[in-house]
Amino acid sequence: MGHVYLSRSVGSAAEEFSAQLGRELRIGSTSSDPPSREEFLEGVRGAEAILSLVTDRIDAQLLDAAGDQLKVVANVGVGYDNIDVAAAQERGVTVTNTPGVLDDAVADLTLALILATTRRVVESDRKIRTGEPWIWGPQDYVGLQISAGARLGIVGLGRIGMAVAKRAASFGMEIIATGRRAHDDDAAALGVRPAELPELLATSDVLSLHCPLKPETRHLINQYTLAAMKPGSYLINTGRGPLVDEQALADALDSGHLAGAGLDVHEFEPQTNPRLRAMEQVVLLHHIGSAGDKTRYDMAALAFRNASAVLNGEDPLTPVTH
């Protein structure tokens, strides 16, 4: 009987649910740093299950290193662009993810980014920490008041997008969105109007990205779509970093065409764009959208349940189909 390999410690959920696996649990790294590629390849050898994080590259090489007894890759995260799903399926390996459990945490952070960016919260905080003398001024740090009927464009109205729409509606924002769910009754009940991307770009005061990363959505936000955005608008990305061409975004901000941006995810994560780092009107975070304490626990717990189900010959709770 093989073991279960977890690339990095995920806290108390590992202790609570590891017994359900019926196999030895081996953890690649107990620190915040991931195992090296060589350590990862060695650690998965003979594994029946791999519990991976979104920073782990699960490709054909790693699947082959694990061996024929590998049954499941359970990703601790809703996104799975770090996994070569086709290669896994070719080898008869089930892939799972953790949808649903992080919707509220990501939506909370999206609203936090919208407010922090449009109301220049971080910019003001940075300035006051310098200790320089200041006095209140009527034109200082004036930003977009979203409660005054600002329009939010949601690109990809899925579960997280709906949770964002619910919060934005409570702030009095007008909401338009792309995606199949934009036509649903629950969207209409929130006042969401379905629209196509060109309208979102041209008319949204805040554009928020919630679509999955696929070949056709990579660099969805590029020099052309940025140029089509409403002058003085804001871009928010809590989806996937490569949805945005960051050099093109920096150009749009440099020119003044966009008023600001808030990014929780980055094109070349964990590297961040030096031009964006230097801009006061940009808020940058460490991919913390799911970092609510309950959500991180629930994500890990669901990944363990998925792995346990497959190892016990049962259907996983949240399989990835490709």
- The two structure tokens encoding residue 246: 């960051």
Active site residue 151: no
97, 317 contact by CB (below 8 A)? no
Q: Alpha-carbon distance 85 to 143, whole Å?
A: 43
Active site residue 193: no
Q: N- to C-terminal Cα distance for the chain?
A: 29
- The two structure tokens encoding residue 178: 């792309």
On the 0-12 / 13-18 / 19+ scale of CB atoms within 10 A, 227 is: middle
Within 8 A by CB and 6+ apart from 137, the residues are none
> What size, in residues, is the chain?
322
> Which of the 8 DSSP states describes residue 271?
S
Tally Cβ neighbours within 10 Å of residue 193: 14
- Pick the catalytic residue from 181, 210, 240, 296: 240
* Helix or strand (DSSP H, E) at 237: strand 233-237
Q: How far is CA 75 from CA 55, 284, 320, in A?
A: 10, 25, 10
What SS3 class is residue 10? Answer: coil
Helices and strands per DSSP (H, E), number in the chain: 13, 12
Active site residue 240: yes
Of 33, 56, 54, residue with least CA distance to 44: 56
- Pick the catalytic residue from 3, 91, 119, 269: 269
Question: At CA 238, angle to CA 13 and CA 168, rounded to 5?
Answer: 105
Question: In the sheet that 192-194 helps form, which strands lie side by side, from edge to edge?
Answer: 192-194, 174-177, 151-155, 206-209, 233-237, 258-263, 282-284
User: Residue 115's Cα: distance from chain center in Å?
Assistant: 18
Known catalytic residues are 240, 269, 287
